[in-house]
Amino acid sequence: MPSIKSLILQGEGVQLDFKKTITNTEKIAKSLVAFTNNKGGKLLIGVADNGTIKGVKSEEEEKYMILTAAHQLCKPAIEPSFEEIYVDDKLVLVVNIPESDTKPHYALDEQKKWWAYIRIDDKSVLASKIIVEVLKNDHQDQGVLISYSDNEKKLLEYLDHKERITLKEFSKLLRCSYRKAQKILVDLIITNVIKIHTTEKEEYFTAVKSI
């Protein structure tokens, strides 16, 4: 593992998050789920958002809160591993969250509702219905057989001209329900025909360019 200082210099991102301390198990469950639904990642506890090393006062208390969140507020449960590393006499607790092979995972919020999250840049973002469906298929061996109907052809022709499309635009293009449009998009993402792009503000789709 790279040194803590070099990790901190990378800054928070898709696979790295800093927490000065754990104050809320629901928030930590959200982070754990976002990492495991993505490519996994590390939480550095005892590090402020700006990268200053503050150190943890009681690693046992922090571990207890993280494991409570991982086992009771995440479903399926998540199994993080821990490393305790001293930097300039301050203890940083490194929480390693593996990528899951039982996606999607959901976190329980304060209103007792379960939600799936993914990691976008340095934030844990609510996963859309399309992303949840794609995650469900992430580790299934059976391929999806796509026969190109007029719907798929319309989409690819549209993307040839416009380069990107949203779910709303696609359902309008096909004059069909969101649900039907969603299903077509999910199948095309799984078979690597189109790509999904998620930002905090919007979700859109582009064609995968063959080289």
Which residues touch 150 (CB under 8 Å, ≥6 apart)? none
Q: How much of the chain exceeds pLDDT 70, in percent?
A: 94
154 by DSSP, 3-state: which? Answer: helix
CB count in 10 Å sphere of residue 112: 7
State residue 211's pLDDT score. 42
Domain parsing of the chain, residue ranges: 4-126, 137-207
Q: How confident is the model at residue 141 (pLDDT cuts 50, 70, 90)?
A: low
CB count in 10 Å sphere of residue 168: 12
Please tell me the least confidently modeled range out of 69-78, 95-104, 194-203: 194-203
CATH topology agreement for domains 4-126 and 137-207:
no
94 by DSSP, 3-state: which? Answer: strand
Structural contact between residues 209 and 196, judged by C-beta atoms closer than 8 angstroms: no
Cis, peptide link before residue 2, omega less than 30° from 0: no
Query: Could you name the CATH architecture of 137-207?
Result: Orthogonal Bundle (1.10)
State residue 203's pLDDT score. 95
Please state the CATH superfamily assignment of the domain spanning residues 4-126 in this structure: Schlafen, AAA domain (3.30.950.30)
Q: How confident is the model at residue 145 (pLDDT cuts 50, 70, 90)?
A: low
